[in-house]
């Protein structure tokens, strides 16, 4: 499962950031996942829940925001937003499209708990 290695990398990043901030706990993690990122949100959620046990993020909630595909048409210069992966312009039917958004996988937000 591709998502497991993504989650493993994510946890390295999370633990690093928590350590830097002097946090004892991660309470929330928010990811932005493009429909073309190659990641299945459900699998990512499952992998996260498996992986988080016995880590600093054991009580963390994972929020996954799906980013739709945003295409710019080179024929009519209009934008098409799709939440599937069909590469045709909604305005003129052209397939000469440029991907503007929807391929990303971004760690958008972490919430930490810091005891002082």
Q: Which residues bind Zn ion (CB under 5 A)?
A: 73, 75-76, 89, 91-92, 94
Nearer to Zn ion, 17 or 94 (CB): 94
Nearest distance from C-beta of residue 82 to Zn ion, angstroms: 13
Instruction: Write down the least CB distance from residue 66 to Zn ion, Å.
Output: 24
**Pair of tokens at residue 58:** 């054991």
Choose between 28 and 72: whose C-beta lies nearer to Zn ion: 72
Nearest to Zn ion of 31, 89 (CB atom): 89
Give how far Cα 55 sits from Cα of 11, 14, 60, 85, 110, Å. Answer: 9, 10, 10, 35, 15
């Amino acid at each position: 499962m591709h998502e497991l290695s993504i989650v493993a990398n994510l946890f390295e990043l999370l633990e690093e950031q928590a350590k830097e901030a002097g946090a004892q706990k991660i309470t929330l993690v928010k990811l932005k996942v493009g429909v073309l990122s190659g990641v299945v949100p459900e699998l990512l959620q499952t992998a996260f829940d498996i992986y988080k046990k016995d880590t600093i993020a054991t009580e963390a909630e994972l929020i996954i925001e799906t980013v739709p595909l945003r295409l710019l048409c080179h024929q009519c210069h209009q934008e098409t937003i799709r939440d599937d992966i069909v590469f045709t312009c909604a305005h003129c039917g052209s397939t000469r499209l440029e991907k503007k958004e929807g391929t990303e996988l971004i760690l958008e937000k972490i919430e930490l708990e810091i005891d002082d």
